[in-house]
Amino acid sequence: MMLRRILTLIGLALACQAQAQTPGDDLIVEMQQAFRQGNRVRLAQLLPQVRGHALEPWAAYWELKSRLDTASVQEVQDFFARYPGTYQEDRLRNDWLLLLGQRRDWATFLAEYPKFRMNDDREVRCYALLATHLTSGAAQPDGLPDEVRRNWMAQREADDGCTTAAATLIADAQGPRRMTVQDAWRKARLAVEANRPRAAGNAVQIAAPDAAAQFAELNNSPARYLTSRVFVASRVRKEMMVLALIKLAGTDLDNAARQLENKWGPQLAPEERNWVWGVIGKQAAQRLNGDALDHYAKVSRDKDLTEDMLAWKARAALRAVRGPDWEALAQAVNAMSEETQSEPVWVYWKARGLLAKGGDDRRAEARRLLETIASIRGFYEQLALDQLGRKVTIPGRPAPLTVEEREAVRLNPSLNRGLYAIALGLRPEGVREWNWGTNMAKPGGLGERELLAAAQMACDREVWDRCINTSERTKTEFDIEQRFPTPFRESVVRRSGEINLDPAYVYGLIRQESRFVMDARSHVGASGLMQVMPATARWTARKIGLSNFRPDQLHDRETNIVIGTGYLKLVLDDFNGSMALAAAAYNAGPGRPRAWRNGPVMEAAAWAENVPFPETRDYVKKVLANTAVYAALLTREPQSLQMRLGRIGPRDAAEPEPYRDLP
């Protein structure tokens, strides 16, 4: 009770401080900059000057984190004691556990690990599993090797924790519940395919230390490596051939297919052949190559393929030259894990395949599948509504928040610190603090009503990204105005009307681009609400007759909307009104979707699912789903996502010539 009372008082103090700037704000910002620069001396000088500031926990974290490798155990424990229950305490514990794992200090690690609340770091988890394995003997949990395996396979980059845990369990292999050398070869295959040579080299070192030099050779020149060898007899040599073929497929797909077909295939085991054909099929599908399904057809057992290979087989089936190959799609989906099969994308396309095949039983099963996902919550959920003959409609809002519900989140220290940090321009820190406050405020995180109250707190402060993201986490309650806010409505609607652009489409794009954060800036230099690149802005300004434009004007809200909508309209016209193509062009540049549209004529949903870039594929689907909801919100009329999609294929000769200089 005493701790709760203290936290309430802290929250009240922070809420009051957040209303206006306080002394020390500039020093906090300076400390963040010093932390990013690795300036330990300046951090130590400034920390005493910000004691008592609302963001003191951040200042203390930066100072101690910058020298954690030389800090004493007592200093770390003093920090934990001074900032109990805060994001910074748990963040430093994460950092401390990583350091303890690197030092192999398992006694201290195991004492600290149970206090780690976020528990969201795979490497820390691997260290914990390794420490348990080394210290518990026969008493270790039965599922420990499986968990190490899952974490190791999921790590894209080479790390110490999961690599060491895997190496230890493989070296100690005894019985069916242990990890095996085959796990190391599987990791090497995944890493080579992902072009992560260091992670692949580590895995090869574990599986076959004597083959490390050979791996360096095949990684540098897989074609030369394959040419220099004639016969493979041992398991190690076969696995090295598999790695070489995977590597070659990334740069010379046709050569890899020939080598596998004519030379190496007969020498490999069925599982090894299937894996390489799966890689070749996936590479062909990602390049929108019409031969993709032919490559996949050489796989004798789809269960030998990874989830990603199966997903690309399903996408290739949607893009088949003579129309969707529903049988190949069903084979791919049915071979996926239950978890993957339950994703809306594969539920929807499996149902579409059943409908295409016809028959009362298949139609009934398709309808049952569609009912499991039909809602307004996402792209395939909305398409399921269309298939069921329903529309996107605006749900009723939840019951109004009570005074008590609002007050409870207003006094939450982490939420207040998050908003304060964002107001000072420390957005990364503010977002992490806010997320901690909504996830870790109590065991299990906030309840649905508390999430709605927190989201409304962010909305009221016009911190729209936290408003949207927090409200989206509710499962049953659905507040449309929190999830799909319409800030700057007069400007967006007026400007859209002036250039004959659907304001719902503009809102759908802004929501995905920036979450309405006006000072948003991407890692490539895009700015503002509509995330416009300077070069794109200059080109657009010339096309729409905006004189005396300067890129720094993109930080002005009205100018950003004018330039962003102007560019979107030009792109939309360039693609003859296709919202899917225009969204892809806005995200990835117009040159890529011009190439991606070549091939068979297909429905836009199938085309969007085949976009090779994961970011752009996700972007297109979310923008279009957002658009349907915003259209229902702005017009108060039911909407159909399918009606907005149409079909996509090669540019028709009757279509106007594209802007060749479109950036």
So which residues are the catalytic ones? 513
Alpha-carbon separation of residue 194 from 216, 455, 466 (angstroms): 16, 38, 33
DSSP 602: E
The CA radius of gyration of the chain, in Å to the nearest whole number, is: 28
Q: Are 419 and 461 in contact (CB under 8 A)?
A: yes
Q: Give the Cα separation of 311 and 290 in Å (integer).
A: 16
Query: 180-201 burial, b if ≥16 CB within 10 A, otherwise e?
Result: ebebbbbbbbbbbbeebbebbb
* SS3 call for 300: coil
Give, as one character, the DSSP assignment of residue 377: S
Cα distances (angstroms) measured from residue 221 to each of 187, 214, 235, 284, 454: 20, 11, 21, 21, 55
Tokens of residue 145, six digits: 């090797």
With CA atoms as reference, report the closest residue to 133 among 102, 90, 164: 164
Give the CA diameter of the chain: 78
Cβ atoms of residues 350 and 330 within 8 Å: yes
CA-based nearest residue to 167, from 146, 150, 154, 152: 152
- Rounded Cα gap, residues 137 and 124, in angstroms: 20
Query: Quick check: helix, strand or coil at residue 96?
Result: helix
Cα 637 from Cα 645, distance rounded (Å): 18
Please give the Cα distance from 273 to 299 (Å, whole number). Answer: 8
How far apart CA 466 and CA 485 sit, in angstroms, is: 12
Inter-helix orientation angle 25-37/56-65, to 10°: 20
DSSP 467-512: HHHHHTT-SS---HHHHS--TTHHHHHHHHHHTT--HHHHHHHHHH
How far is 411 from 160, CA to CA, in rounded Å?
A: 40
3-state secondary structure of 647: strand
Helix (H, G, I), strand (E, B) or coil at 648: strand
Find the angle CA(377)-CA(380)-CA(381) to the nearest 5 degrees. 40
C-alpha dist (Å) from residue 649 to 49, 287, 595: 63, 16, 10
| 3-state percent helix, strand, coil for the chain, nearest multiple of 5 | 70, 0, 30
